[in-house]
Chains A and B, each alone.
Chain A
């Protein structure tokens, strides 16, 4: 397991780029390979966020380097049953960062609600 980067609190990684947040959110479900992450992101965002292979693996590379995600081996996906795929999972730091980002976004949404910008039919 990767070591937590010394002295960097989860808030130091914020704000996260949208694709990065979606990937971390997908990995909060457990260990996933690239295609499962991509499908999870597309399903959760109702198709509004579509990650291509370049964007996905570019983000994963940065997340691995920052110690927010780690590889957990290669194996065959029983559902797809073809070649061996590399699986990824959140590190404890990654979990703290995605929680911090979710709290940050939640605070922003609550502020928007207080200003009656949400839940009101557009004019």
Chain B
């Protein structure tokens, strides 16, 4: 295989990198590849194994970084999550009111009343967290999510018959949002070489 053919193959492999990265560094990378071709035998398996390993290691990491740094994508995801949180908060309050009305027809247990109140509180806090995310008040959103989580845990302990859906939403949503809000933005990601 000639160095020119090797360069053509390498240019194809470069398509694995994000477009912005290619626009910035493709010329430099091809120059460096040409230097490598001059000093190595491009017909050997070892040469191509090293080239493919380099692309396989660096391209996915750069694609992931590009995706994470695309603030527009993250903003849209956070807005959708916030709207979903607000809707689930409203739904949670409505559900608690229905439970209360249904429960009030029979004998009302003190623990049940407290669980319903905690459920309403957790839903209201979720609603508040959604609004805070939409208003870009991250600290307020984190506090509301923590408080909502604590309320759901307390409600679950008082009322073990809580539905699976309520538990999934009550625990899953705040935990997922908290992970997203606390996700570290490191200068050098752990996966970076």
- Which residues of A line the B interface, CB within 8 A? 13, 16-20, 34-35, 38, 50-62, 65-66, 80, 83, 85-86
Contact = CB atoms under 8 A, between A and B. Distances in A.
23 contacts: A13-B187, A16-B188, A17-B193, A35-B32, A35-B35, A52-B50, A52-B53, A53-B29, A54-B54, A54-B55, A54-B62, A57-B28, A58-B21, A58-B61, A58-B62, A58-B192, A59-B193, A61-B21, A62-B65, A62-B189, A66-B188, A80-B35, A86-B28
Interface string B123-153: 0000000000000000000000000000000
A38 B59 CA distance: 18
Contacts of A34: 28-29, 31-32
Contacts of A13: 187-188
Q: Interface of chain A, helix or strand or loop or mixed?
A: helix
Interface of B: 17, 21, 24-25, 28-29, 31-33, 35-36, 50-51, 53-55, 57-59, 61-62, 65, 187-189, 192-193
Nearest to B30: A53
